[in-house]
């Protein structure tokens, strides 16, 4: 199992690479970035876990060397937010970065699982899909927008209400997209069930939707979530790898191209969105089945979903358009 991290020298890339290096399921770990990968790779290579680590820069055909033979490529490359910015403000720079990295995937490891972390995820995933389509290698079952951090936040924040001592015991579908109002936690479908007092629900939902802003504000100009994202990115990547190796019953919300995943068409019909984050059952070839939690939403959540659909459609179109009608 060869894993690649593209953007490996960054705030997310380094701790994510560390977690992948110590994961016994990974045999080979290749780090790609425009800076510092020789140093980060050498540092990680001294850890006494099985994964063999390499690091590449763009020079000397580095992308080809790094990506060739990859089974999974995780992409946290690109600039993060500063206070006052929206994720969409990152589009100008990150759209091109993701496009070019995914071109590299199409060329050097077209069968790899591709996990997009770079923001704005609502647009960068459609960009990736269009690039893969143009290259004739798009497999919707293998392209994922990583929205796990929203799930992790929902688990953590709901515990402040439920009093659960181990927040990770909760399973909460968080669906839609990955920015502000497009993030929709469905607390009514939490397992085990949680009773959230009516006067605390708005604040809880808001904290999940704007958890990213909380970190951006606290870091005060030095970036956005990196450590919690590395945890979330690793948690999702590990599930993809476990499913690829045959483990069954793994379900995790992720942002996918609905028409390409079993069960997705019905969800696309209800949401009007081509791409959507929903709980997806994972299998050896990637996304096995999209699970419809949308129709079970209560009236309060249906209102949240209406706002989500509106914002998300525009973000998706912007990503598709970037590749179809290059600026």
What is the DSSP track for 217-247? Answer: HHHTTS-S--HHHHHHHHHHHHHHHHHHTT-
Is position 178 annotated as part of the catalytic site?
yes
Per partner kind, with CB cut-offs from 5 to 8 A, the member of ligand LMR, ligand NAD, none near residue 95 is none
In 3-state terms, the chain is what percent helix, strand and coil (to 5)?
50, 15, 35
Least distance from ligand LMR to the Cβ atom of residue 185, Å: 13
Instruction: Tell me whether residue 80 or residue 264 sits nearer to ligand LMR (CB atom).
Output: 80
Does residue number 94 form part of the binding site for ligand LMR (CB under 6 A)?
no
Annotated ligand binding at 119? The verdict is: yes
Does residue number 209 form part of the binding site for ligand LMR (CB under 6 A)?
no
Q: What is the DSSP letter of 164?
A: -
Does residue number 149 form part of the binding site for ligand LMR (CB under 6 A)?
yes
Do you know the residue count of the chain? 327
Instruction: Tell me whether residue 164 or residue 219 sits nearer to ligand NAD (CB atom).
Output: 219
Residue choice 16, 225, 261, 290 for contact with ligand LMR (CB under 6 A)? 225
Least distance from ligand LMR to the Cβ atom of residue 159, Å: 19
What is the pairing mode between strands 174-176 and 72-75? unpaired
Does residue number 212 form part of the binding site for ligand LMR (CB under 6 A)?
yes
* Residues 126/275, Cβ–Cβ less than 8 Å: yes
Does residue number 224 form part of the binding site for ligand LMR (CB under 6 A)?
yes
d(CA 108, CA 130) in angstroms, rounded, equals 17
What is the pairing mode between strands 275-283 and 250-257? antiparallel
Q: Tell me which residues in 233-272 interact with ligand LMR (CB under 6 A).
A: none
Least distance from ligand NAD to the Cβ atom of residue 37, Å: 9
Angle CA(63)–CA(66)–CA(72) in degrees, nearest 5?
Answer: 110
Which bin fits 183, alpha (ψ -120 to 50), beta or left (φ > 0)? beta
For helices 198-209 and 211-219, angle between their N-to-C axes, nearest 10 degrees? 60
Candidates 99, 108, 141, 178; catalytic one = 178
| Beta-carbon count within 10 A of 69 CB | 14
Does residue number 216 form part of the binding site for ligand LMR (CB under 6 A)?
yes
Scan for tokens 């004739």, then name that residue: 136
Instruction: Tell me whether residue 118 or residue 188 sits nearer to ligand NAD (CB atom).
Output: 118
Least distance from ligand LMR to the Cβ atom of residue 13, Å: 14
Per partner kind, with CB cut-offs from 5 to 8 A, the member of ligand LMR, ligand NAD, none near residue 261 is none
Q: What is the DSSP letter of 246?
A: T
Detail the residues annotated as belonging to a binding site: 7-13, 33, 81, 87, 94, 117-119, 153, 229
List the catalytic residues.
178
Detail the residues annotated as belonging to a binding site for NAD(+): 7-13, 33, 94, 117-119, 229
**Contact positions vs ligand LMR (CB under 6 A):** 80-81, 87, 119, 149, 212, 215-216, 224-225
């Amino acid at each position: 199992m060869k894993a690649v991290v593209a953007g490996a020298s960054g705030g997310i890339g380094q701790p994510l690479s560390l977690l992948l290096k110590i994961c016994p399921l990974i045999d080979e770990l290749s780090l790609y970035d425009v800076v510092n990968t020789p140093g980060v790779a050498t540092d990680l290579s001294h850890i006494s876990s099985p994964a063999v680590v390499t690091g590449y820069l763009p020079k000397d055909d580095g992308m080809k060397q790094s990506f060739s033979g990859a089974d999974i490529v995780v992409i946290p490359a690109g600039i993060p937010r500063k206070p006052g910015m929206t994720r969409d403000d990152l589009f100008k720079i990150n759209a091109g970065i993701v496009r070019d990295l995914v071109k590299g995937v199409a060329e050097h490891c077209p069968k790899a699982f591709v996990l997009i972390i770079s923001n704005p995820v609502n647009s960068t995933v459609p960009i990736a899909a269009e690039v893969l389509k143009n290259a004739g290698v798009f497999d919707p079952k293998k392209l994922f927008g990583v929205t796990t951090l929203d799930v992790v936040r929902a688990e953590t924040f709901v515990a402040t209400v439920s009093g659960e001592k181990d927040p990770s015991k909760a399973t909460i579908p968080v669906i839609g997209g990955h920015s502000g109002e497009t993030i929709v936690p469905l607390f009514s479908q939490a397992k085990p069930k949680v009773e959230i007092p009516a006067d605390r629900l708005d604040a809880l939902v808001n904290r999940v939707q704007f958890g990213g802003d909380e970190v951006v504000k606290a870091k005060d100009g030095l970036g956005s979530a990196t450590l919690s994202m590395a945890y979330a990115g690793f948690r999702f990547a590990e599930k993809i790898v476990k499913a690829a190796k045959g483990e069954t019953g793994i379900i995790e919300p992720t942002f996918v191209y609905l028409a390409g995943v079993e069960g997705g068409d019905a969800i696309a019909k209800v949401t009007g969105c081509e791409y959507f984050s929903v709980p997806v059952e994972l299998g050896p070839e990637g996304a096995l089945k999209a699970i419809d939690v949308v129709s079970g939403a209560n009236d309060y959540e249906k209102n949240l979903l209406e706002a989500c659909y509106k914002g998300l459609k525009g973000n998706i179109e912007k990503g598709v358009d970037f590749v179809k009608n290059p600026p």
